[in-house]
Structure 1
Amino acid sequence: MTVTPTSRVDIGPDEVSARLLDSAARLSRNAMTEIDWSAPMDPTKYGCSPEWSTLYGTPYWDELSEDQRVTLTRHEFASIMSIGIWFEMMLQAVVIRDQYLGDYHTPEFQFALTEIADECRHSIMFARASEKMVGTSYKPHPRLGRFGKLFMATVSDEVAYTGILVAEEILDVFQRGCMRDERVLPFIRTVNEIHVLEESRHMKFAREQVRVAMREVGPIRRRWSAFYIALSASYIFTSLVRPQAYRDAGLDHHRAIAEMRRNHHFQSMVRTGCAHLMEFLDEVGLLTPAAAKIYRKVHML
């Protein structure tokens, strides 16, 4: 697949970063002071919109009581936030390594550090939210944890920043779908609003880094990068709701996983939510046939 021509004006990382620095100075929020973490939770409120539950629309969902559905969505979203912490820690490591010995006076370097600071606050916010909502957190499978260490240590340029972009876009899809829903716990809606607002800056930064990196990428490297990014994205996406989350919600996790994998409603929601991401990957030449096959397998395309 060839890179799709675009009429986009060539702006550049420093110009984009300067705008993002200004936005961060004006609009950044602090969940530690904005959210009343001691406030009681309404037992009728969900952890995410029911329609974004991995089991919504399945026979298993139909069998659950309303209390069970509320409990399920809380554990599902606690798992999603926990996996979000995992890949945000990878993001921080990759950005720090990329900016090591950078030009400290440039907006690009300074926004990179701003992004790292944001991600630290987001991870703490997710940790506090998971603890408040369900009293626990979740980790990726140990094999995926080892893969993450390899990813952090080896990636650079277009793979690093597209990997960052894809991971953040996946989480963004879930949060945008839930942040205005009054059926969801109010403090979780605030968590979603803060993360969506601040991640929009991070994703703009990552997209610009990818566009610049792709100028120097030849056809063989482009195909390999596209495949590696898609493979990494599939691992992240399929790990968002851990089996333990279903068990902690009181469900038969074997049945829950089986029905989640056959859930056409959830698959359709994901495909729709990832449409913008797929358009960008196609624009920069990273939606190759091999990559597209992987994205289709996990219903992101």
Structure 2
Amino acid sequence: MAIDVSRPESSNRPPAEDVARRLLDSSAQLSYDPLIEVDWETPLDPDFHGASPEWSTLYGTAYWKELTEAQRKALTRQEAASVASTGIWFEMILQQMVLRDIYTKDPLSDSFQWALTEVADECRHSIMFARGAKKLGAPAYRPRRAAVELGRFFKTVAFGEAAYAAILVAEEVLDVMQRDWMRDERVVPFVRTINNIHVVEESRHMKFAREETRKHLAGAGRVRRHIHSVLIAVAAYVIVSSMVNRKVYANAGLDEERGIREAKANEHHKSMMRSSCAGLMEFLTSVGLLTKPALFFYKRANLI
């Protein structure tokens, strides 16, 4: 009697394909439609914060102590809207990089189909963030012109691990703060729902970005690894420094120049940013992307 010793088809699949299949299955089981899930109809209640106050750029400063509760809440609403606007900007960059990466790949593969699923998620997230920022009573915050042009350059030249690790950086920084916001009953309910949706769906994106980063680095030489480590670090600095627009202070009724000055010197906020990136820095170290030149930019962005 002949014995079939052939291995299951799945055993010959690349690890990235198995990851993509699991992510597709997860997406089919747990995804959201923000147009339905988020309460867009109830008017904004000014008695709520827009984000956990501990994440405010002014929390712990002398200026924060002088503010009334109403002013603090107005500020966190503007800051949350600014973070959302920055998220839209980077998600548009992300979508272009992902689409360019899969342009000539096998459309029947799980990786290709997951990448399109991720792009669809990001489209919904961007609309959700835009509607959320509008409901918070904020203007359309945009990154400074230099950041916009650097983003245009990055999305054009970044490929492989540079693209996916930069995606991971942006998503990891948002993930930790949004996990705090979604659990905080001081935060306006519709923002908590937005954060919950984003955290759940971005967890799949981060897993894929890690896998793609490892996959691309497997064939990267020393020079390429060092160049990309700096490119990723510069992207991280630009993203993080663009998260809170300088106009949030004036739009919350505060002194803009004093707000900017005290935010830059705020050690509490710097500590919050560093703690949010501890896992990210461990990953970058494990794959050889935390080089000495890259460290300069991460330190400047207060991520390490």
Q: Which TM-score band (shorter chain)?
A: over 0.9
Unmatched segments (≥5 aa) in structure 1: 1-9
- C-alpha distance in 1 between matches for 2:176 and 2:57: 13
Select which of 41, 44, 58 maps to 2:44. Answer: 41
Asked whether 1:123 is paired with 2:131, we answer no
Q: Distance in 2 between matches of 1:145 and 1:59?
A: 32
Correspondent of 2:221 among 207, 218, 222: 218
Give SS of 1:138's match: coil
| 2-structure distance, mates of 1:216, 1:224 | 14
**Contact conserved, 2:46 with 2:74, CA < 8 A, in 1?**
no
**What SS does the aligned partner of 2:244 have?**
coil
User: Which of 38, 60, 69 pairs up with 1:66?
Assistant: 69
Identity level (%): 52
**TM-score, length of structure 2 as denominator length:** 0.94
Give the drift of 1:40.
Answer: 1.9
**Is the contact made by 2:176 and 2:276 (CA closer than 8 Å) also made in structure 1?**
yes
Give the whole-Å Cα distance in 2 for the aligned partners of 1:228 and 1:142. Answer: 19
Judge conservation of contact 2:237–2:301 (CA < 8 Å) in 1: yes
1:29 aligned to which of 10, 13, 32? 32
2:181 is matched with which residue?
178
Query: Which consecutive unaligned segments of at least 5 residues does structure 2 have?
Result: 1-12
* Bigger shift: residues 146-155 or 66-75: 146-155
Checking the alignment, whether the CA contact within 8 Å between 1:173 and 1:270 is kept in structure 2 is no
What is the distance in 1 between the residues matched to 2:221 and 2:179?
Answer: 35
Secondary structure at the residue paired with 1:134? coil
Structure 2 counterparts to residues 1-301 of structure 1, below 5 A: 12-301=15-304
CA contact (8 A) 2:78 2:138 kept: no
The separation in 1 between residues aligned to 2:265 and 2:66, in whole angstroms, is 17
> Helix, strand or coil: the match of 2:183?
coil
Match for 1:217: what amino acid? A
Rounded Cα–Cα distance in structure 2 between residues aligned with 1:31 and 1:236: 24
How large is the Cα RMSD of the aligned pairs? 1.1
Partner SS for 2:105: coil
- TM-score with structure 1 length normalisation? 0.95
SS of residue paired to 2:247 = helix
1:245-298 Cα offsets, whole Å, 9 max, x none, are 111111112111111111111111111110000000001000011112221122
Cα shift readout 1:65-101 (whole Å, capped 9, x = no counterpart): 1100000000001000000000000000000000102
Regions of 4+ moved over 4 Å: none
Q: Which has the larger radius of gyration?
A: 2
AA at the equivalent of 2:35 = M
Higher relative contact order (CA 8 A, sep 6+): 1
User: What CA deviation, in whole Å up to 9, does each residue of 1:21-53 have, x standing for no partner?
Assistant: 000000001110011201022221000001000
Q: Deviations along 1:133-177, whole A, 9 cap, x unmatched? A: 114221111121111111111110010101111111111122112
